Structure 1
């Protein structure tokens, strides 16, 4: 089993947070300073509610260079983590930048969801509703144009 498969197995294991962190750290030690290993270590801590430990690992992973899909995941997860730590303005800036890149990426709706949450946290609930409804509209079986139009009006 290769490293990625072993990492997926660690995430799938029915274990507690501390044991998962230990498993992921052990795998990450095989690839010191590797961006993906740093990202996985951050995610394990984030999942366990250890935001202050996750934040610098996410930042290191982003600086070290991730493939595009993991980069977007890391931005989402870092922004969520720092929002939880009270760094609302930075969270908004990260998510806004990612959101404004457009709807082409596979994680755009996830970016929109976390951007909407950050907007609500920042006291901009109407703008947050607009972002969320614009992301939802294309998935509706009917009323897509109407919901998208109303969402744009909210903004």
Structure 2
């Protein structure tokens, strides 16, 4: 698997490839794995997502998640699926997926990514203040100063007092 993943990573890191070439190469590498291999499905979904083929990506993300992914890829696939379906106008489902991911692992390695996409979905749903609160609360621990103040303001926004 490592050699295969290294080759997949090589495709992703090759800035000379067009979006269509990325899809083509990822698909070619995916044929080396079983047809319903969840990791191959996930990579194929990501390639289509990057190429703006959201409807095709959605189907592949769902299949990958249904077949089971390791924890990191499951989180990534959930975030990416939610972003894709938000772009397809399925905002309520995107919000539900992202909220669950955001609340699931507050200290997880992809928590900030989940927060960013959750905030974007909240904006799409017309909840800009809640989105700002989520974004500020996520940003606050990364600030060299003012962490407590920004966290407090984020909570005030969430409570409707800002």
SS across alignment from 1:100: helix
Alignment match, 2:31: 29
SS across alignment from 1:33: coil
Deviations 1:41-85 (A, max 9, x none): 000000000001100000001111111111111011000000000
Alignment match, 1:54: 57
Deviations 1:99-141 (A, max 9, x none): 1114221000000000000000100000000000010000000
Alignment match, 1:65: 68
Distance in 2 of aligned mates of 1:67 and 1:132: 27
Distance in 2 of aligned mates of 1:38 and 1:102: 24
Question: Over aligned residues, Cα RMSD in angstroms?
Answer: 0.9
1:121 is aligned to 2:118: no
How far did 1:10 drift?
Answer: 1.2
Could you tell me which runs of 5 or more consecutive residues in structure 2 were left unpaired when the two chains were aligned. none
SS across alignment from 2:104: coil
Alignment match, 1:10: 11
Could you tell me which runs of 5 or more consecutive residues in structure 1 were left unpaired when the two chains were aligned. none
TM norm structure 1: 0.97
SS across alignment from 1:86: coil
**Runs ≥4 in structure 1, deviation > 4 angstroms?**
none
SS across alignment from 1:128: helix
| Map 1:92-103 → 2, pairs under 5 A | 92-103=95-106
Distance in 1 of aligned mates of 2:104 and 2:80: 17
Distance in 2 of aligned mates of 1:83 and 1:148: 27
Distance in 2 of aligned mates of 1:2 and 1:82: 31
